[in-house]
A and B are shown apart, each in its own frame.
Chain A
Amino acid sequence: MVAPVKESKPAFEDLEFFIDPSRCIGCQACVQACGECDTHRGTPMIHLDYVDRPTGVQTAPVVCMHCEDPTCAKVCPADAIKKEEHGVVLSAAHPRCVSCSNCTLACPFGVPKQQIEMQLMIKCDMCYDRTSVGKKPMCATVCPSEALYFGSREEISSKRKESPKNEFQFGAQTVRTKVNMMASAEAENIPIDVADFLPENDISAFAQKRNGAPDVANNAVWEDLERLPI
């Protein structure tokens, strides 16, 4: 009944989404490109934050991971979140969403955003308007570092040392997703460690014990700052 937009290729075929946040350079091309989508023009859905800017430039790009058993959909009181046939968890259905924030608070990946005035949750739907007609998602197409990548499993395996995993361990909860994250080849899944990041003595949790946050002071030689006249 619904005519497809122009001629379309089959959705997804053997293509999958892979994310490797460690490659991210924080340029926000994905954010800007996300806002180009016709379903939500001008409103990016992807998340990109500094992990902790004072301690470094590491950034956290997060797209919807499209869980096999989506917590967000389960906690929705209005049946507004649906998974379609390819496993894409869609943004909230407009007529149903009441913007209660259950999904935002329950998603283990911190993905859904609320548009309170519109009474609407929006989140990454893997560019459904593009992927459903065989195009690649915008963010993964433009990403300059390939931190976000859309392609076949063979391609990614031939390119990278890391291997894709789609199982995450949040304490007692195992979460399987459609989107893959690059991890060490030996690991069975990606365990999320919390204990190491609990704040100590009021020091920001991310300011301590973190890879990828080198301090220039530990790498450089400089004259004693005491010489500075104040």
Chain B
Amino acid sequence: MALLNLTESEYIDRYGPTPLYTPEGGWVSGEPDNLVKTHCCFCGVQCGIQLKVKENKVIGFEPWEEFPVNKGKLCPKGVKRYMQNEHPDRIKGPLLRSDAGFREASWDEALDKTVSEIKRVQQTYGKDAVAFLGGASMTNEKAYLNGKFARVALGTKNIDYNGRLCMVSAGAANKLAFGIDRCANPWEDIPKAKVLILAGTNIAECFPILTDYIWRARDNGAKIIVIDPRITPIARTADLYLPVRPGRDSALAHGILHVMIERGWIDAKFINQHTNGFNEVRELVKKYTPNYTEKITGVPAKSIISAAELWGPAETSMLLHARGIEHHTKGVENVLSYINLVLATGRIGKPGSGYGTITGQGNGQGGREHGQRCNQLPGGRDINNTEHRKYIANFWGVKESELPGEGLTACEIINSIEAGEIKALVSISFNPLVSIPDSERTRAALEKLEHFTAIDFFLSETARHADVILAGSLQEEDEGTVTTGEGRCVRLRNSVSPAGNARLDWHIIRDLAIRLGAGEYFNHKNAEDIFLELTAASAGGPIDYSGMSYDRIEREMGIFWPCPATDHPGTLRLFEKGKFAHPDGRAKFHAFPYRPPDEDVDRDFPIFFTSGRVVSQYLSGTQTRRIGSLVEQYPEPLCELHPLLAERLGITKGDIVRVSTRRGHIKVPVQIVQSIRPDTVFIPYHWPGKKAANRITNRALDPISKIPEFKVCACKVEKVN
């Protein structure tokens, strides 16, 4: 039973998070031995950075101005990322659960323990009683290997990853609308657009480097429309700000399209030649008049008309969105509704015209392409498609019949553990206790596990529940590739070797596979071996990397997939000349009527609750809560609320509030700001335990993407005396 056996403060004492201000052993200055050209370990922009390495230590960074995406630019997280090295919290060898928390163990002992428990559980409860949870911050190589490991070595269908909490709604919608899941345009198209819609994307804080692309568009005369319940830094100077009520995004898109159709700002020729399903959408949006839409969305009718006036007749345009419209029980429907706005104008597949979702996690794009998902096989193949199954089974040298089928998604795995069906868990770089909604239920689930092995470099809050900790590697200790939010596969170089007795993540996976009797499938000598296998596996699939090599990627500073041959330049922009990836070559409109969120406000819980990120923290904070100067930047979660709401609730500056939902409550200080809707409160989610926004969020899932509804639920707010 994975109950905690130390107190919170004892865990923090021994394993952190310790906010580190000065590296262990002090600052090292002077000339480095090596400047390693690699990428940031955080968001989906994957900025180029040069790490300064001296005596096998990363001692700082130097901007990498030649890398074309960020040209040396970095956000505060990128600047301080190297502080994870020489960190006192670093797990430097395997740990086994003991009465005193954890004790050090040899690799043999730890690996044997994990494998014997996996075997015991699988013999007792069946193969699928063991689940594997991966992470989307890991390289393509690891994502590929995780999928193969789960299906070939563990033989479980239950493998999924934390990208399930990130961009799966966009991915699913992209597949439905376009037949392929990738940002349609490179980011270099943004400055060429004359109108930009930024829907539910806090670019300045979540993908800070893209800010420059937005500003360059503005410098070129572009108009910016921002859709968000909060005035984020990019919204502050926007030409048009639409303060949407949480959970009403699809209605707003319908409202804008209504005006566009009414005024004739649609490209009938493009719609006829290159799309299907427009008639249903035209019928659907008829009732979304500006006034009707205003009632649903809380966006004034005149602003909806203004948006249509800007977007409709534009010469070129880009629509970008992120988690704001995706983190919903109708995340896929929201995205599809916004895609309708793009397809209706025909402005896609051209320089300066197109569409994209901004992927949040470091390898949010690549992490979802190579078989780390419960319903997917390498090359973006479908696990339910017999042809695809046969191809991969054959490629791996296993029987198609032995290849597990579609398993549960990340949140469903946690639900299933809670229900006592899944009994053992192997996770890597995943901290569901902080990142999945309704965290008290996640805790209850973890406590029910018969066995839990966590592979990680820091002891996350989730890993405290583990029976075995296998000390893995930091991003800069391994090498490989990641695919950025624009679909560009870039190369990560290793800068230093794993700390202490820690091992490369993929070595650990291989070591486990060998002990599980599947060693023959994992005899890669280095990361490049895995990459070559991955690219070969992807050949002919929807996501084709087969023309890529480490050498090429480095030389060309990244390659956009699909890249089906070694002499293929890669595909910078999708859907050129209106060619889409569906079998009929057409894109598809989708007509989903607006429906309310899973939990809407009512008498008892009358205020909208929404969550998100701050610029100084990344995801569950496992890494960034350990870097002192980032912690200082925004030390604890604050509840943002509007002065009108504060006045109504009798709350003043400096107060602590209790924010409660049907799932629980948290107490946090307030930040009274006029930059949020008066009917909504916001709390960022990077913190654990009593300050975890995800204690109160709603785990209701989108029926298609299975993403939980992070972005809206109903709460009440009270002042704590």
Binding site for B on A (CB under 8 A): 5-6, 22-29, 31-33, 35-36, 38, 41-42, 53-59, 136, 138, 141-146, 159-161, 212-217, 219-223, 225-230
Contact = CB atoms under 8 A, between A and B. Distances in A.
B609 interface: no
A56 B674 contact: yes
A142 B210 CA distance: 12
Contacts of B215: 23, 145-146
Contacts, number: 176
Given A27-B208, A28-B615, A38-B29, A57 B232 contact: yes
Contact of A144 (B75, B241, B303, B616): B75
B166 interface: no
21 contacts: A25-B205, A25-B233, A27-B75, A29-B79, A32-B80, A54-B673, A57-B233, A144-B75, A144-B209, A145-B211, A212-B236, A213-B236, A216-B243, A216-B642, A216-B675, A217-B644, A217-B674, A217-B678, A225-B644, A225-B645, A229-B606
A220 B243 contact: yes
Nearest to A138: B63
Given A42-B21, A225-B648, A228-B649, A219 B673 contact: no
Contacts of B229: 216
Contact of B234 (A25, A41, A54, A59): A25
B219 interface: yes
A27 B212 CA distance: 13
Given A32-B629, A54-B672, A219 B642 contact: no
A-B complex: 6 closest residue pairs judged by Cβ atoms = A25-B204, A25-B233, A220-B243, A144-B208, A215-B674, A32-B79
A28 B205 CA distance: 10
Given A25-B234, A29-B74, A42-B629, 14 more contacts: A6-B31, A24-B233, A29-B208, A31-B633, A56-B673, A144-B211, A144-B212, A214-B675, A216-B642, A216-B675, A217-B678, A222-B679, A227-B606, A230-B650
A1 B234 CA distance: 50
B642 A217 contact: yes
A227 B74 CA distance: 45
Interface in B213-253: 215-216, 219, 229-234, 236-237, 241-243, 245
Nearest to A56: B675
A142 B79 contact: yes
Contacts of A142: 63, 72-75, 78-79
B216 A159 contact: yes
B236 A221 contact: no
B298 interface: yes
Interface residues of B, number: 70
Contact of B73 (A141, A160, A161): A141
B306 to A, nearest CB: 11
A41 B52 CA distance: 15
B537 to A, nearest CB: 36
A165 to B, nearest CB: 17
Contacts of B671: 53
B212 A216 contact: no
B76 interface: yes
Contacts of B527: none
A146 B208 CA distance: 11
A133 to B, nearest CB: 12
Contacts of B303: 219
B22 interface: yes
Interface string B131-146: 0000000000000000
B485 to A, nearest CB: 15
A228 B211 contact: no
A23 B203 CA distance: 13
Nearest to B233: A25
A141 B675 CA distance: 29
Contacts of A32: 76, 79-80, 629-630, 633
B518 to A, nearest CB: 44
B383 interface: no
Q: Which of B21, B672, B678 has the most CB of A within 10 A?
A: B678
Contacts of B233: 24-27, 57, 59
